[in-house]
Structure 1
């Protein structure tokens, strides 16, 4: 489902296969395990998350959700809330390499990183809930308030279901760089950006605490679901 490799001081997590990378329990668990392994590994200075194929992630696994009791929906959403918490608490800079479409929870996953590098020729950021007739989680809304600074762009994404291209994302201050070429070019650009951040030699724990302080409302909505909170409960 995902791989972890190290390129210089950068850890690269890649969602594998040419599928839609739907965020069901198995993929969320694999991602959280990958992030935990990066956190526990020595010598890492930054993280990049990328994906193979046409999609970065097309959101929650709705096909799975239609076949299981509602309680499992709640569990899946809690696990994804925990993944966002894990990224916010990660003691290193993070970069999303948006190599294709990033919709709904997939869009949230991309924007949960410190920086976003996006493919210029293909893919979009898309909050599909209004078109799909689905409620939006509270922390989705809080993350979008923090990560989409332009109020009109935020309205258009959430209440109109508009799809944001890389060029529009750069113009609106949501995307840091739009990269020409294919998936490999986007990943290479994201790794280069992450390597530049790693070279700053920052204290990772300070980075994590500043991140939490910068987005306190978002952190407050996810912190009880993260790996740190789970470890603390286990010690009680």
Structure 2
């Protein structure tokens, strides 16, 4: 397993922790490591907790790739979209322990999990693409439309508003906020309680709940990856 990601196995859950020592940028290597960890978790059939490093959940896509454009950018973008879809359809509940800043693709991961616990502090969460000269891809638009409060959608997406942890709950990025020292314990408490669910029933019911969103996401992915770079990185 890559050193970017560590796995902790417990009777009730599998904890996946991202830590690149920096901003937890979602690079090719990070995506590969997270997906390999999810393969392990899926084989175990347990609830999944995904955590970040202290102060940084994820600052989003690797900007060195996104800024260069072309095929590498499209490949990285597709890996992000595929990870969101994987989490939305995962066979067991996915709990995020949002340990700090969650921006851009990091915020989209928050919109892809079943339950999101954040922690108090001076942290920013949001889709800041417009502020850094990028057009949010269609799949990101659909995730935001499905999971954010309708009254916040224009502000959050079109105006690149970033939220503190408490306001991120109202917006829809998080489900609750706890003190920093309680973050992992709370995620474990939730995962342990979810472990009592019947997992096949959970997966099937989740699929029914998200069926309309998944149909919209399928169309969004077609638009993103048939349109090419011009429709995604305009203004970058």
Same-fold call, TM cutoff 0.5: yes
Report the alpha carbon displacement of residue 220 of structure 1 after superposing the two structures with TM: 2.1
Tell me the secondary structure at the aligned position of residue 54 of structure 2. coil
User: Structure 1: how far apart are the matches of 2:20 and 2:73?
Assistant: 24
Per the TM alignment, residue 172 of structure 1 is displaced from its structure 2 partner at its CA by 3.6
Report if aligned partners of 1:127, 1:162 keep a CA contact under 8 Å in 2: yes
Give the alignment of 1:13-28 within 5 angstroms.
Answer: 13-28=16-31
Can you list the C-alpha shifts for 1:192-224, whole angstroms capped at 9, x where unaligned?
Answer: 112212223342542452354252335425889
Of 172-181 and 4-13, deviating more is 172-181
Single out whichever of 76-85 and 202-211 deviates more from structure 2. Answer: 202-211
- Shift of residue 158, structure 1, vs aligned partner: 1.1
Of the three residues 3, 7, 21, the one matched with 1:4 is 7
Mapped partners of 2:189, 2:102: distance in 1: 21
Are 1:167 and 2:170 matched, yes or no? no
Shift, 1:39, TM fit = 0.9
The answer to whether residue 38 in structure 2 is matched with residue 77 in structure 1 is no
Aligned residues of 1:143 and 1:218 also touching (Cα < 8 A): no
1:83 alignment partner, SS class: helix
Superposed, which structure 2 residues align to 1:124-139 within 5 Å?
Answer: 124-139=124-139
After superposition, the CA RMSD in angstroms is 2.1
Determine the C-alpha separation between the residues in 2 that align with 1:211 and 1:11.
24
SS of residue matched to 1:215: helix
SS at match of 1:168: helix
The equivalent of 2:57 in structure 1 is: 56
- Judge conservation of contact 2:103–2:128 (CA < 8 Å) in 1: yes
How far has the Cα of 1:170 moved from its partner?
2.4
Alignment match, 1:87:
87
In structure 1, what is the equivalent of residue 234 of structure 2? Answer: none
Runs of 4+ in 1 over 6 A off after TM superposition: none
* CA shift digits 1:155-203 (9 cap, x unpaired): 1111222211221122344421111124xx2122112112212223342
Partner SS for 1:121: coil
Which residue number corresponds to residue 216 of structure 1? 214
C-alpha deviation, 1:129, in angstroms: 0.9
Describe the SS at the equivalent of 1:116. strand
**SS of alignment partner, residue 19 of structure 1:** coil
Summarize the Cα distance change of 1:115–1:175 in structure 2 as closer, same or farther, 3 Å threshold: same
Higher relative contact order (CA 8 A, sep 6+): 1
Gaps of 5+ in 1: 225-236
Give the match for residue 177 of structure 1.
Answer: 176
CA contact (8 A) 1:17 1:53 kept: no
Deviations 1:109-167 (A, max 9, x none): 12210111001223221211111111111100000001102x23221111222211221
Whether contact under 8 Å (1:56, 1:100) holds in the other structure is yes
